[in-house]
Amino acid sequence: MFTVGLPHQPSQPVSRRWRITGWLLAAVWLFFLNIPLLTALHQPEVWRRVLGAVTLVAFGVLYVRVFEWARGRRQAHRTIPRGRAWTALAALLALGLAGIPGTEGDWLTTLVFVAAAAVFLLPLWESLLVVVLAALTPPVTAALVPGWEAEGTVVFAVVLASFAMFGVSRLAQRNAELQGAQQEIRRLAVAEERARTARDLHDILGHSLTVVAVKAELAGRLLELDPARAATEVADIERLARQALADVRGTVGAYRGVSLATELAGARSALAAAGVAADLPETVPSLPAERDELFGWTVREGVTNVVRHSGARRCEIRIDPTAVEIRDDGRGPAGDPDAAGHGLVGLRERARRLDATVTVGRPRDGRGFLLRVTLPDDGRGTTG
């Protein structure tokens, strides 16, 4: 009976061993029906012995089945229909009453199981009503039926079993809530991982394919004017395609990393292919790994937007230990500059993890477009 609160993962099938264990632990409490069973077996008439034994066996089987049914619904996070719960209690009570010719006054022991089942099956106030009625039945019947003694032990057992089952049912409810929370955490973790993968793939392929497209366009213009230069650009396209493929594989395997120095080198090549004059730092400050990666993603996103959207002729990148800034003299993305494109959404998510601020829009002088990521200065920006 007390296995209801055992940890159980609803997403996994219940093993045969645990199903058998649940049945056994529910059935072991039926040992307390031995008193009415002994009374039935000592009846002088055969029909009384048979009636008492048969009704008690049926009572025990029904009780275990009801318990397992309710336990299964709780583990599956499903409600227990009130109509079926009341029907089950009525059937248990009817079997207990039907055995009176064989069990005599000892049939009152079955009220302990009826009260416990009510606590497990019914809402609080309805189950409390059943418990009170079950506890009052022994003294009332003793007063009304000649020869029946007041069974104080039955009253005590009804109250004790009801309190115990109340604790078990609350434990089962908390356990179900915990399992639901664990399922939600797993679902959110999967959703977060999918979002991270989609974001990384967008950032990687968006940048790489933009540069490939620009270089392919440049190579096409140079085919007749400067075949040697066109061949160089085609070779660079092949290199970028292979690098993009490696990045995609690394993203899927969660092994890929982005570094600021690598992204600056890629930015220099991409801007040159797009015919944009680049003003890039020759050296970068030594940064903690998480800042270096964030700044690398910022350079990649900023340069991708410059090449793809801006129509700029000049791009300037400035980096210090707490900030990275990409500025151009173009028109910037169409529409609201603060609109959340996929790349900027991913960049904001990465920046949020380090309490960084992402600024996009027009510079104060109103010319060109600006992307800036600023980190709080915690004294770690210049560590080696």
pLDDT reading at 219 higher than 50? yes
Percent of the chain with pLDDT over 90: 15
Q: Average the pLDDT over each of 5-19, 279-293, 311-325, 343-357 and give the range with the smallest value.
A: 5-19
pLDDT recorded at residue 280: 92
Q: How far is CA 158 from CA 6, 33, 251, in A?
A: 24, 13, 62
pTM above 0.95, yes or no: no
Q: Give the β-pairing of 314-320 and 277-279.
A: parallel
pLDDT band at residue 301, thresholds of 50, 70 and 90? confident
Cα–Cα distance between 216 and 238 in angstroms, integer? 10
pLDDT recorded at residue 363: 79
Cα–Cα distance between 307 and 314 in angstroms, integer? 10
pLDDT reading at 192 higher than 50? yes
pLDDT recorded at residue 361: 85
Count Cβ neighbours within 10 Å for each residue of 150-176 and write b for 16 or more, e otherwise.
ebeebbebbbebbeebbebbeebeebb
Q: Mean pLDDT over residues 199-224, rounded?
A: 74
Q: Average the pLDDT over each of 65-74, 242-251, 322-331 and give the range with the smallest value.
A: 242-251
Q: Mean pLDDT over residues 79-83, rounded?
A: 88
pLDDT band at residue 8, thresholds of 50, 70 and 90? very low
Indicate where the chain has its CATH 3.30.565.10 domain(s).
260-384
State which H helix or E strand residue 314 sits in.
strand 314-320
pLDDT recorded at residue 10: 40
pLDDT recorded at residue 9: 39
pLDDT band at residue 6, thresholds of 50, 70 and 90? very low
Cα–Cα distance between 110 and 26 in angstroms, integer? 15
- The tens digit of pLDDT for each residue in 89-129 reads 999 999 999 988 988 888 888 888 898 888 888 888 898 89
Strand order in the sheet with 369-374: 277-279, 314-320, 323-328, 369-374, 357-361
pLDDT band at residue 13, thresholds of 50, 70 and 90? very low
Homologous superfamily of the 260-384 domain (CATH): Histidine kinase-like ATPase, C-terminal domain (3.30.565.10)
Q: How far is CA 215 from the centre of its chain?
A: 44
pLDDT recorded at residue 357: 92
What is the greatest pairwise CA distance in the chain?
120
**Residue 71: closest CA among 165, 155, 146:** 165
Q: Mean pLDDT over residues 212-239, rounded?
A: 80
pLDDT recorded at residue 58: 92
Q: Average the pLDDT over each of 26-35, 81-90, 110-119 and give the range with the smallest value.
A: 26-35
pLDDT recorded at residue 112: 87
pLDDT reading at 333 higher than 80? no
Three-class DSSP category at 41:
helix
